[in-house]
Amino acid sequence: MTHAMLKGSNVPLEATTVRAVLRWSPGQDVPDVDVSALLLGSDGRVRSDEDFVFYNQPRHPSGVVWRLGKKRLAQGLTDTIQTDLTGVEAGVTRILLVASADGVTFDRVRDLSILLYDAGAPDGEALASFAIRPETGEETALICGELYRRGEGWKFRALGEGYSNGLKGLATDFGISVDEAEEAQSAARPSSAAPAAQPLPPEQPSAVPAQPAYGYPQQPPATAPLQPAYGYPPAPATTPATAPVPAPAGVSGYGYPPPVTPGPGQDVGLPPMGPQFIGR
């Protein structure tokens, strides 16, 4: 049974590996939300910048805290961090679970909540859930809750504490040095903006012939001889397509008998007329 938590309440954890799922409802004006984790020592501060697990550093060097990434479920969008509590170094006493909206205020994020699951039972229901309600609506980062040591075990406390100066301001308060790496981290962060338009390809050189219209054969190059019409003999390859082809001596045109050349002493004339039939 899922334990519904109120702000400031806590619940003991028997699971050895905990999956913390940040969930919210998508919408046209709803900003993208990221989950992060800060591993704190007994002084309430990180031991080094490596104790900050976020989108640009998704896994702690110890390998016991890491991001699982975002998913779209029927209940809404999620971003998840998983922690192997048995492997957390002795110098770490608290692990903050943080939500940030990349400079956009949380009054535009609907149905924000954090749910804790036993990672060893992937099909089990949530161990605890906490519906997060920003106090002012101007928060751009929120501490949703914390995993903390209690004797030999661990507990989870629901917090919902807000920051108006974003993830950078929150991380700085706990000892993270973000000024030098701010530009590099911003450039590495995945963006949900539409990709920039690609430049058009260069124009084709004027020497490239135009393509024929659809359904018509392509015209042959001007230097190639034209093909003969159907049923007529082809013109010689060396003769231009537009020049008339003279018939060789003694050879008639196509379909006509050859001319007769009279010899010496021969008289070539028309044949005599046959008898005429006159009607009566």
Residue of higher predicted confidence among 252 and 83: 83
User: Residue 278: is its pLDDT beyond 50?
Assistant: no
- Of these ranges, 82-86, 99-103, 241-245, 270-274, the one predicted with the greatest mean pLDDT is 82-86
pTM of the model: 0.65
- pLDDT one-digit tens code per residue, 87-105: 999 999 999 999 999 778 9
**pLDDT recorded at residue 29:** 86
**Which residue would you say has higher pLDDT here, 184 or 227?**
227
Residues 6+ away with beta carbon under 8 Å from 29 = 108
- How are strands ordered across the β-sheet holding 76-84? 3-5, 128-131, 110-118, 17-25, 76-84, 65-73
Task: Provide the mean pLDDT of the chain.
Answer: 78
| 221 vs 148, residue with greater confidence | 148
Query: Could you tell me if 100 and 34 are in contact, meaning their C-beta atoms sit under 8 angstroms apart?
Result: yes
Q: Say how far apart CA 41 and CA 94 lie, in whole Å.
A: 7
Residues 6+ away with beta carbon under 8 Å from 197: none
**pLDDT per residue as tens digits for the range 170-224:** 999 999 986 644 444 444 444 443 333 344 444 444 444 445 444 545 555 455 4
Lookup: tokens for 144: 């949703």
Residue in this structure with the two tokens 């909540």, named with its chain if needed = 113
Percent of the chain with pLDDT over 70: 63
Give the pLDDT band (50/70/90) at residue 234: low
**Mean pLDDT, residues 72-89:** 95
Count each helix (H run) and each strand (E run) in the chain, helices first.
Answer: 2, 12
Q: In this structure, are strands 10-13 and 65-73 parallel, antiparallel, or unpaired? A: unpaired
Q: Is the dihedral of CA 25, 28, 29, 35 positive or negative?
A: positive
Q: Please write the tens of the pLDDT for every residue from 117-132.
A: 999 997 889 999 999 9
